[in-house]
Amino acid sequence: MPIRLAERNPRVPKDRLLAELVPPPRFADVSFESYRPDPAQPSQGEAVEVLRDFAGHLNRPVRKKGLFRKAGEPSGPGGVYLDGGYGVGKTHLLASLFHAAPGPKLFATFVELTHLVGALGFHDAVAALSSYQLVCVDEFELDDPGDTVLVSTLLRNLRDEGVRLAATSNTLPGKLGEGRFATADFMREIQGLAASFESVRIDGEDYRHRGLPKAPDAWPLDEVRERAGKPGASLDHFVDLTRHLADVHPSKYGALLDGVEVVCLEDVRTVEDQAVALRLVVLADRMYDRDLPVVASGVTFDEMFAAPLLEGGYRKKYFRAISRLDALAREGAGLSE
């Protein structure tokens, strides 16, 4: 019998939630040595040296705020912000910093961090993360005011506890494809934390948005069901799965996929509701992290999000999800060869 994701509601202990916040598999083995700076862009090589130096300071304690801190006493480097356009290796460098740093340490996307706070509660999240040497936040989202305030407050509390911080950010919705630098936007959004961050600018070629490659064709329904009969496959009707995701906290979506080797979906449909669409984005990210092939009938993934969603403030999320699901669908197509 195939696995039914829509029948799972895993219980994930706090220790597992924290333990899984590490660079995704595609960045599991990167390092400063494996980063290849463009000789024509000196800032890339300079960024590596700044981050090496930052990693070297992580064994030195940062003085916490309090009665015993002397006025003017240096507290060491508090944070670095990697700022650059598309395709310059910000995530590679952030993951390299993570690997070079002493533990305990944490690497999370902005979305994963907000989900962690939602799962634990704000005060418990602060307590859980305060013992970390380093917290890395990839793709700090400047387009979500509510979550931005939440995460900025969390990071400010962690900074007060002596935790070092490192971050990259995404691009504001109206600036997609411009390869712009976002330091001013980032520093404004983190407000009281800005003085703790050193901005590390990374110049490079601007890989402008060129559209998505054609999505793989959908599978016939009978072939989806046939493929789902093999070991390690899940099988769900698309509507059942989208309804079930509303009842599972997004922090558990990774655990939802435990033991799954291939995701099979019946009757994928175009989604118009933004809440449903954003949950699918998170699921797509967890599937992509695990490199799970997808076999699906219905509409192709480039038609899964309605046009108004692709024109709205979260369009970058949706285009990323389409690109990732298309890549997994291509892997799924290879299963029939």
pLDDT of residue 334: 84
Spans of the chain below 70 pLDDT: 60-77, 86-87, 142-144, 170-183, 185-187, 189-193, 205-213, 336-337
Confidence at residue 133, expressed as pLDDT on a 0 to 100 scale: 92
Q: What was the pLDDT predicted at 139? A: 83
- Measure CA 67 to chain center: 38
* Per-residue confidence (pLDDT) for residue 210, from 0 to 100: 40
pTM of the model: 0.75
Sheet (strand 105-109) strand order: 105-109, 134-140, 164-169, 79-84, 197-202
CATH architecture of 31-202: 3-Layer(aba) Sandwich (3.40)
Q: Are 277 and 245 in contact (CB under 8 A)?
A: no
Reported as half-sphere exposure (CB side, CA atoms, 13 A), residue 33 has a value of 3
> Residue 6: what pLDDT?
95
β-strand 134-140 against 262-268: which pairing, if any? Answer: unpaired
- Radius of gyration for the chain, computed over Cα atoms and rounded to the nearest angstrom: 21
Residue spans of the domains in the chain: they are 31-202, 211-334
For residue 100, what are its two tokens?
Answer: 């070079």
User: What was the pLDDT predicted at 142?
Assistant: 67
